[in-house]
Amino acid sequence: MDLTNKHFKAFIERQEAIKKQYSPQQIAKQHSKGKLAAHERIGLLFDAGTFEEIDAFVTPAGLPVEFGKVEKSFGDGVIVGYGKVNGRLVFAYAQDFTIMGGSLGIVHAKKISKIQEMALKMGAPIIGLIDSGGARIQEGVASLSGYAYIFHNIIQSSGIIPQISVIMGPAAGGAVYSPALTDFVFMTNHTSYMFVTGPNVVKEVLNEDVTFDQLGGAEIHARKSGVAHMIYDDEENTILALKKFLAYLPSNNVENPPVVPDDGSVPDFNEKLRDIIPDDPNKAYDVKDVINLIVDRNSFFETAELYAPNIVTGLARIKGKTIGVVANQPKVLAGVLDIDSSTKGARFIRFCDAFNIPILTLEDVPGFLPGVDQEHSGIIRHGAKMLFAYSEATVPKITIILRKAYGGAFIVMNSKNLGGDFNYAWPSAEIAVMGPDGAVAILYRKELAQSKNPAELKKELLKKYRDKVANPFIADELGYIDEVIDPAVTRKKVISALSALSNKWVKVPARKHGNMPL
Ligand code: HXC
């Protein structure tokens, strides 16, 4: 080929022009805010030399602009493409805040839509690295329609390919719904924020002063709103964690998650598990200690750690294969089920089910949280989400009852008749309609009122209830659990159950979709 011909020269000039677009000043401005430039983020995400950019040369739509101006730029403020992450195909887009604030014009939107459709067609995860002032004001309704296009694509791909959003700057206005629709949201502390209406509007409408961080920073979304699932202190760690997380996931819903070698360092028989549950049934312990003694070493990747910590969710591996763990956390609110923990658990269960990830449930739950606030805010509706999610899930489902399994909470946490495949209990399990105090108060109200020594009588009755009722043996005898097991063999039992379930096949009645209580 003649490298001096005019087309080749034009090609080279365009390559040079695109490089110049990333002015050192603009990049320095990003860095001064503790942020990386879009191409630097892409560089961190993909395995070296594997990223292939698409549509680098498209330019803004050239729509008539009545207000402000649209900068002529190559790429229209977003880098899109595909490459390898940990050796596997992944699609991504990275919004470039240095170009019109990463705002979304129609061409920018079409670029994102194009790779969304490619990711779906090729059955690969898609990652959105978001740093954007939202809909491009100058392009008006065209940019709003661009968002609608993107939202529609996310919804069409939901449950087919993993979709993850990483917020690395602003996500404002309706633009927050793009991350909200995806499976997981990662955020970076102090440099990212998400809100439907910003601090200025809050001031105007409600006369309240609030900072960007207070209104929609990573910490708030991770702890309070539950919008963000994972947060990290800087962008590098955020992207590293995302890459680690992706390694647990299949590329799509017809694949199984990847299997990694298990170093065999976690014993299948572990006596330490016998000593975890305190003798005093009202004493707390950390269920994460139980998780870490069952799953492969250092394999537990907790999701939504800071939100509703009375339930623990996360991905882990058993013999190198991905599982999802749902565990009540006795250390926080005694592991009670409330609105937030039900919503968190249900969403996680549905994610696992969509992507062929077996679910291990570790149960120690005193029941649903009582109170006017919970009732009036809809614990009935939200608690029903957990029931629905567990019951409709067709992936392998194993439950181990560690201690308390009272009332509706026993049913909810993947009980046998709700569809649990293997249901085990430790000897410390307390399975009954309600806890000893409630049961004694209801059934022996008159006797206690008439007793000369009600305290002594109550003590006796509580002991009798624990001995005769609140134990695992009645459920065992009636077949509502499969076996009472020695805690030391828990990992062995889980391995064997997962192996038996590896070809689990469930025929679901044909329907358009169920009607989950949202
Ligand atoms: C066009 C935008 C823009 C936007 C920012 N810019 N947002 N251009 N449309 N939406 C431009 C700015 O004009 C500026 O251009 C450059 O990006 C950097 O912005 P700054 O304001 O200088 O940066 P900063 O001080 O860091 O503030 C960032 C910001 C702020 C908080 C995001 O720009 C802002 O509030 N933007 C508007 C956010 C918003 O309300 N968006 C619309 C949401 S509604 P120059 O040329 O000066 O460098 C929405 C609808 C979606 O998105 C609907 C879906 C259903």
**Would you kindly state where each structural domain of the chain is located, as residue ranges?**
24-246, 271-433+471-500, 436-469
The Å distance, Cα 137 to ligand 1 centre, comes to 8
Q: Are strands 359-365 and 321-328 parallel, antiparallel or unpaired?
A: parallel
Is 24-246's fold the same as 271-433+471-500's?
Answer: yes
Q: In terms of C-beta density within 10 A (0-12 exposed, 13-18 middle, 19 or more buried), how is residue 449 classed?
A: exposed
Question: Which residues on neighbouring strands pair with residue 129, listed in sequence order?
Answer: 94, 166
pLDDT for 67 equals: 83
> Closest Cα to atom 27, ligand 1: which residue?
133
Given CATH 3.40.50.2300, say whether it is the number of domain 271-433+471-500. Answer: no
Q: What is the mean pLDDT of residues 142-158?
A: 97
CATH number assigned to the domain with residue range 24-246, chosen from the 4 options 3.90.226.10, 2.60.40.2380, 3.90.1150.10, 3.40.50.1100:
3.90.226.10
Q: Which two tokens stand for residue 4?
A: 């001096």
The Å distance, Cα 475 to ligand 1 centre, comes to 60
As annotated, the active-site residues are 173-174, 408-409
Q: In terms of C-beta density within 10 A (0-12 exposed, 13-18 middle, 19 or more buried), how is residue 4 classed?
A: exposed
Helix or strand (DSSP H, E) at 4? none
- CA–CA distance, 250 with 246 (Å, rounded to integer): 8
Q: What is the mean pLDDT of residues 402-411?
A: 95
pLDDT for 104 equals: 96
pLDDT for 423 equals: 98
pLDDT of 304 higher than 80? yes
Helix or strand (DSSP H, E) at 73? none
Q: Are strands 301-303 and 230-232 parallel, antiparallel or unpaired?
A: unpaired
The Å distance, Cα 429 to ligand 1 centre, comes to 55
Q: Which two tokens stand for residue 361?
A: 């449930």
> Closest Cα to atom 42, ligand 1: which residue?
134
> Closest Cα to atom 17, ligand 1: which residue?
101
Which atom, in ligand 1's list, is nearest to the CA of 147?
A: 54
pLDDT tens-digit series, residues 20-52: 888 888 899 999 999 999 999 999 999 999 999
- CA–CA distance, 344 with 324 (Å, rounded to integer): 13
pLDDT tens-digit series, residues 320-359: 999 999 999 999 999 999 999 999 999 999 999 999 999 9
CB 447 within 8 A of CB 423: no
pLDDT for 23 equals: 81
Which atom, in ligand 1's list, is nearest to the CA of 212?
A: 31
513 Cβ contact partners less than 8 Å away, ≥ 6 residues apart: none
- CA–CA distance, 416 with 423 (Å, rounded to integer): 6
Pocket probe for ligand 1: among 97, 137, 141, the residue whose CB has the most ligand atoms within 8 Å is 137
Q: In terms of C-beta density within 10 A (0-12 exposed, 13-18 middle, 19 or more buried), how is residue 518 classed?
A: exposed
Q: Are strands 301-303 and 311-318 parallel, antiparallel or unpaired?
A: antiparallel
Q: Which two tokens stand for residue 251?
A: 């590329």
Within 269-328, residue ranges assigned H as helices are 287-294
Q: What is the mean pLDDT of residues 409-438?
A: 95
173 Cβ contact partners less than 8 Å away, ≥ 6 residues apart: 134, 135, 196, 197
Q: What is the mean pLDDT of residues 114-132?
A: 98
Q: Which two tokens stand for residue 502?
A: 């590896």
Average pLDDT, the chain: 95
The Å distance, Cα 21 to ligand 1 centre, comes to 19
Q: Which among 362, 351, 293 is positioned nearest to 328, based on CA atoms?
A: 362
Q: What percent of the chain has pLDDT over 90?
A: 89
Q: Residue 374: pLDDT band by 50, 70, 90 thresholds?
A: very high
Question: Which residues on neighbouring strands pair with residue 80, listed in sequence order?
Answer: 54, 93
Which atom, in ligand 1's list, is nearest to the CA of 102?
A: 17
3-state secondary structure (DSSP) of residue 335: helix
The Å distance, Cα 134 to ligand 1 centre, comes to 6
pLDDT for 71 equals: 82
> Closest Cα to atom 22, ligand 1: which residue?
101
pLDDT for 73 equals: 87
pLDDT for 72 equals: 86
CB 229 within 8 A of CB 303: yes
pTM > 0.85: yes or no: yes
> Closest Cα to atom 45, ligand 1: which residue?
100
CB 431 within 8 A of CB 411: no
> Closest Cα to atom 29, ligand 1: which residue?
133
CB count in 10 Å sphere of residue 301: 18
Q: What is the DSSP letter of 224?
A: I
pLDDT tens-digit series, residues 218-274: 999 999 999 999 999 999 999 999 999 999 999 999 999 999 999 889 999 999 999
The Å distance, Cα 335 to ligand 1 centre, comes to 42
Q: Which residues line ligand 1 (CB under 6 A)?
A: 100-101, 103, 133-138, 144, 147, 170, 172-175, 198
pLDDT tens-digit series, residues 53-87: 999 999 988 888 788 888 888 999 999 999 999 99
Q: Are strands 311-318 and 321-328 parallel, antiparallel or unpaired?
A: antiparallel
Pocket probe for ligand 1: among 23, 25, 100, the residue whose CB has the most ligand atoms within 8 Å is 100
